[in-house]
Amino acid sequence: MNINTLKVSESRSNQVDASNIQFGKTYSDHMLVAEYENGEWKQPEIVPYENISMSPATTFIHYGQSIFEGIKAYKNEAGEVSIFRPHDNWKRFNISAERMAMPDVPEDIFINGMKALIELDKDWVPTSEGCSLYIRPFMFATDEFIGVKPAEKFKFMIITSPAGAYYNKPTKIYVQNKYVRAFPGGIGFTKAAGNYGASMLPTLETRKLGYDQILWTDGVDHKYVQEIGTMNVFFVLGDKVITPDLSGGCILAGVTRDSAIKLLKEHGYTVEERPLTIDEIRDSFYKNELMEAFGTGTAAVIAPISELYYDGLTMNLPPVENWKIANWLKNELAGIRYGRIEDRHHWMFKVC
Ligand SMILES: *Cc1c(COP(=O)(O)O)cnc(C)c1O
């Protein structure tokens, strides 16, 4: 595929202070844009990062046909740039697209477009350990029509932003049993904008109570744990690693979750993907068997949980320094990403 590219006359990459990268505040020099109209994608273009202009009647603003992905590119010690499992994000993007009545984005645009964009902006991929280039592909409906109907015009874009080392201060989690994130038949399994819009009020209320994030429970019984914000969740109960299974369509199939399961199993740990109730977690806590709990996601990678609040009970976890599993997993994933540990699963997609 041949992508028309309009380059910036001067890169802004040297303006980034590598020792103090503020995530999501700075965007790289270029962005990818592709338009869908009359049932087909037009040729994508790479252009300088800039504002986009649109009609106030643009449908996604009103009716929310809007989806996204989150991916990271890493630079190894030899200076080579690779993206972590982008084909898995591409497949998940199209699962989200299908549920939201949006067109499939072909590999040529999503993967090859991303590769061309990252190659052009390779100087934006930070070099120090723990840093990466965050890649944000997204698509939204662009019909200029305020009647409610499935849209026919769409825009797909990719922007990128350097991300510094994520400091994983252990998080305090509030187990939510009033508000609901997802329910069977809904859109919980998609990375659709509306899922996040609906979570903002519960998040604000949770912060006021002194907790960092919400652990969502199921919308029917408020009993089965689902996931946290933009992370999947793992519990180590006794010597078993347990994570909620994906059946039921309420939980996002995280690429980090899948990587964690594969690495842990390969290393000989018992990993169970199954329905997990908050009562089982509480019982384990009373038996001193709640050993570790952590979130997994592209942004934070592994986020240890120090405290879980549920219905009047505060469950404190053992000190994170003493955890075996999460700390091993974090190191293993970083090793693969920065090229220190062999990439046995071929997860790193080389750009340049
Ligand atoms: C993005 C996201 C995750 C994590 O998925 P990764 O592919 O590991 O980044 C988990 N849950 C939700 C709701 C998310 O939006």
Domain membership of residue 140 (yes or no) is: yes
Determine the distance separating the centroid of ligand 1 and the alpha carbon of 241, expressed in angstroms: 19
Which H or E element spans position 61?
helix 59-63
Read off the tokens for 142. Answer: 């662009």
Together in a domain, 245 and 209? yes
Together in a domain, 136 and 190? no
Residue recorded with tokens 């019984």: 221
Is it the case that residue 103 has pLDDT exceeding 90?
A: yes
Q: Residue 18: its pLDDT value, please?
A: 77
Q: Cα–Cα distance between 74 and 131 in angstroms, integer?
A: 7
Last residue of a domain, one of 106, 135, 164: 164
Q: Cα–Cα distance between 131 and 337 in angstroms, integer?
A: 11
Together in a domain, 110 and 187? no
Domain membership of residue 184 (yes or no) is: yes
Pocket test for ligand 1, best of 298, 330, 337 (most atoms within 8 A of CB): 298
Domain membership of residue 143 (yes or no) is: yes
Read off the tokens for 141. Answer: 């409906």
Is any atom of ligand 1 closer than 6 Å to the C-beta of 231?
Answer: yes
Alpha helices in 147-219 (DSSP H): 193-197, 200-208
Together in a domain, 326 and 208? yes
Domain membership of residue 343 (yes or no) is: no
Last residue of a domain, one of 129, 164, 199: 164
pTM of the model: 0.97
Q: Cα–Cα distance between 227 and 222 in angstroms, integer?
A: 13
DSSP strands (E only) in the chain: 4-5, 30-37, 40-41, 45-48, 66-68, 71-75, 81-84, 132-141, 154-163, 171-176, 213-217, 225-228, 232-237, 240-243, 270-273, 290-297, 301-310, 313-316, 348-350
Q: Is 113 helix (H, G, I), strand (E, B) or coil?
A: helix
The structural domain count of the chain equals 2
Together in a domain, 45 and 148? yes
Together in a domain, 128 and 262? no
How confident is the model over 127-150, as pLDDT tens digits?
Answer: 888 899 999 999 999 999 999 999
Domain around 41: 4-164
**Could you tell me the CATH number of the domain that includes residue 308?**
3.20.10.10
Together in a domain, 52 and 187? no
Q: Residue 247: its pLDDT value, please?
A: 93
Together in a domain, 215 and 329? yes
**Could you tell me the CATH number of the domain that includes residue 103?**
3.30.470.10
Domain membership of residue 348 (yes or no) is: no
Is it the case that residue 22 has pLDDT exceeding 90?
A: no
The residue-averaged pLDDT of 272-279 equals 98
Beta strand 301-310 with 171-176 is parallel
Domain membership of residue 342 (yes or no) is: no
How confident is the model over 147-191, as pLDDT tens digits?
Answer: 999 999 999 999 999 998 876 689 999 999 899 999 999 999 999
Last residue of a domain, one of 146, 164, 182: 164
Query: Average pLDDT of the chain?
Result: 96
The residue-averaged pLDDT of 290-301 equals 96
Together in a domain, 26 and 133? yes
Together in a domain, 108 and 157? yes
- Local confidence band at 117 (pLDDT 50, 70, 90 cut-offs): very high
Domain membership of residue 197 (yes or no) is: yes
- Local confidence band at 300 (pLDDT 50, 70, 90 cut-offs): confident
The residue-averaged pLDDT of 65-86 equals 97
Domain membership of residue 344 (yes or no) is: no
How confident is the model over 192-248, as pLDDT tens digits?
Answer: 999 999 999 999 999 999 999 999 999 999 999 999 989 999 999 999 999 999 999
Is it the case that residue 11 has pLDDT exceeding 90?
A: yes
Q: Are 121 and 81 in contact (CB under 8 A)?
A: no
Together in a domain, 183 and 49? no
Together in a domain, 270 and 309? yes
Is any atom of ligand 1 closer than 6 Å to the C-beta of 255?
Answer: yes
Residue 195 CA, closest ligand 1 atom number: 13
